[in-house]
Each structure stands twice: as structure tokens, then as C-alpha cells.
Amino acid sequence: MASKQFNVLIKGKFLPPRLMANLEATFTTFRLWEAADQNAYLNEIGSKIDAIVTSGNAVMGASAALIERLPNLKVICSNGVGYDAIDIEAARARDIIVTNTPEVLNDCVADLGMALLLDVARRVSEADRFTRAGKWTQGRFPLSCKIGGKVCGIVGLGNIGQAVAKRAQAFGMDIHYYTPRSRPDVPFTRHETIMSLAQRADFLVLTLPGGAATRHLINADILQALGPKSYLINIARGSVVDEQALIQALEKGQIAGAGLDVFEQEPQVPEALRQRDNVVITPHIASSTEETMGAMADLVFENLQAFARGDAVLTRVV
Ligand code: 8YV
């Protein structure tokens, strides 16, 4: 199909500028988020849409309700590895292809996981606030927690989990993990339950997928098992953690602290987390480097171009 006859619905504005520019130069694009009345806009253009471009972000994705409004939809290309915000069953039911951006973001997501781990354990952000506030002249900054020799417990040992393991090993950490099925291919210590891993871990690092199947796997019991000297690091999805239980565990001193890049209601972050010195917070930026966002943008575009040409897409989810 000639590219300009290929109609692409762009779901929201949070896509890399390079991807937006490529999409607009190549295809006919429709900007859903700009429509004052999205319902009326979908009535008008819905039947001509061939593709959706979206991201893994919770406010983006592609719901069953949106998919239903697009009777000629053939492909959904997402700028992200996680696809929990896309209704995969609705896509599958109509043989709509879904693509994501695996591999290209492994290093940067793992880097941010280690950055959060190091920051919350060594109290880097807290020490920065202390120094800026001129408190050094009044006394020494309190002691922090050594990383080397500690157990890094990784929940979900996929590509990102393994990239975290490699980094944590270089810091002298002992790697334990939980996966539902055994992984004879990896040399680390497997736990059969998240509870057992939490009991053993000094740092519980979440790298598992989001979605209904993993919702609130990290609950009050797991946090209590993690214990008052241990930390939670979340670079997966906010939905994986019961955020209210996390707030209570922090308030009661049941865990030592947390490093969080993802939250249950993004972009909202509860005040109870924002005010704590032993919580390091970043706004879902694990993959947000120039290099990785560029690689993701190119992969989204290449998937869409391949589909429009009639070729197989590169990174298909369903
Ligand atoms: C976001 C992510 O999708 O890849 C994922 O699953 O969570 C992120 O990379 C990306 O930031 C776009 O919003």
C-alpha cells in the first residue's frame, strides 16, 4: 500500500519527536489527543484507520473500546516493551498485529534500576538535599548501607532482569531471583516463591511484566517479609505493587526504603511517598535516554513501515 494511503492514528503526544516526524513524513496521520471531542473524531475517521501508534505508558496503550471503534484496524505499534496497557485479547480476537520494542531498552532500564538501588542505599538524593540546604556545616551526614556482599533479589529474570543481575554482580552482590518456571540456563539462586525471595533479599528488584496476572503481587505480606533493613526497587509497573501497602510498610519502618520509577496512577505520585527521605522517585524514565528512545522510535517506525509494505513486522507480540 502506498504510504500516504496508510492511515495512522497517533494515540497521544508522549512519543519521541523523531518518531512523530517520521510518521508524519511517511503516512497520513491523525492526532487523537488533539481532538476536542475524541468520540466525534473517531466517528468521523475511525473507519479509515489502518494502524495505531501508541506507547506502553498507562495513559496511552490501546483499550478494547478504542480498538472496537476502528473496524479496519490491522496493526498496533507500541513504543515500549511492556504491553499491559494494550488490550491484547481484543487485538487477538480480530487478528490485529501488535508490536513492541524489546531488547533495545534493556541496558538503560537496568541502569536506572541500579541507579535507584545505589541512590536509596547510599542516600545520594538525600545527601544532595542535605548539602544544598547547608546542613553539612552543622554535622556529618548519617551512615548509609553498603551494596557489596548483599543479596539482590530479582523478581522476573527476563532480558531486563538479567541485565540488572549483570550489573549487580559487578557491584559484588549475590544474585537471587524468582521466576515461575526454573531457569537452568542462569547461574543464580532461584526461589520458588516471591515470599521466599523477599525473606532472603536485601534489595528486591522488580522487573516482571505488568497486567492483571501480576497486579499487587508485592503486597503487605511480601513487604513485611522483606524486612526493616531491606529495600524495594520498582522498574517494572506500578500495578505490580500495592502502593497503599508500600506506604504503610514505609511508615511503620517495615522496610528500609524504596527506589521507584513507576506508580499505580501515573503521573500521580502519592504525597506520602513524595515526602519521604528514604524513597527515591523518578517519573517513569528508565528507558528515557537519547540513545534508547531513538532506538525505540526507529523500531516502532520500522515495524510500521514493514507492515505497510506487506512484509513481516520485526518485533511481534501477537
Ligand atoms: C515506556 C516502558 O513505554 O517500555 C516500557 O514498557 O515502560 C517505557 O519504555 C516509554 O517510556 C514510553 O512511554
CATH number 2.40.50.140 given to 106-281: no
Q: Per-residue pLDDT tens for 69-86?
A: 999 999 999 999 999 999
**Are 92 and 69 within 8 A, CB to CB?**
no
Q: From CA 273, how far away is CA 296, in angstroms rounded? A: 30
CATH number 3.40.50.720 given to 3-103+290-309: yes
1-5, 217-221, 282-286 — which is least confidently predicted?
Answer: 1-5
Q: Per-residue pLDDT tens for 18-30?
A: 999 999 999 999 9
Q: From CA 266, how far away is CA 12, in angstroms rounded? A: 15
C-alpha 140 to ligand 1 mean position (Å): 39
In the DSSP assignment, the letter for residue 316 is: B
Statement: residue 1 has pLDDT above 70: no
User: In CATH terms, are 3-103+290-309 and 106-281 the same topology?
Assistant: yes
**Are 318 and 306 within 8 A, CB to CB?**
no
State whether the beta carbon of 82 lies less than 6 angstroms from ligand 1: yes
Give percent of the chain above pLDDT 90: 96
Q: Per-residue pLDDT tens for 82-129?
A: 999 999 999 999 999 999 999 999 999 999 999 999 999 999 999 999
Q: What pTM, to 2 d.p., does this model score?
A: 0.97
**Domain coordinates in residue numbering, the chain:** 3-103+290-309, 106-281
State whether the beta carbon of 235 lies less than 6 angstroms from ligand 1: no
Statement: residue 138 has pLDDT above 90: yes
Q: From CA 93, how far away is CA 146, in angstroms rounded? A: 51
Give the nearest ligand 1 atom to 100 CA. Answer: 4
In the DSSP assignment, the letter for residue 141 is: P
In the DSSP assignment, the letter for residue 196 is: H
C-alpha 3 to ligand 1 mean position (Å): 27
Burial string for 15-47 (b: 16+ CB within 10 Å, else e) reads bbebbbebbeebbebbebeeeeeeeebbeebbe
Statement: residue 51 has pLDDT above 90: yes
Statement: residue 65 has pLDDT above 90: yes
Average pLDDT of span 280-284: 98
> For cell 503521573, what's the residue?
267
State whether the beta carbon of 141 lies less than 6 angstroms from ligand 1: no
H-type alpha helices, 98-205: 106-122, 124-132, 159-170, 194-200
C-alpha 99 to ligand 1 mean position (Å): 13
State whether the beta carbon of 14 lies less than 6 angstroms from ligand 1: yes
Q: What is the pLDDT of residue 3?
A: 87
Phi-psi region of 124 (alpha: psi -120 to 50; beta: other; left: phi over 0): alpha
Give percent of the chain above pLDDT 70: 99
Q: Per-residue pLDDT tens for 210-241?
A: 999 999 999 999 999 999 999 999 999 999 99
Measured from the Cβ of residue 64, the count of other Cβ atoms closer than 10 Å reads: 13
Q: Which cell numbers hold the place of 72?
A: 479496519
Q: Per-residue pLDDT tens for 179-191?
A: 999 899 999 999 9
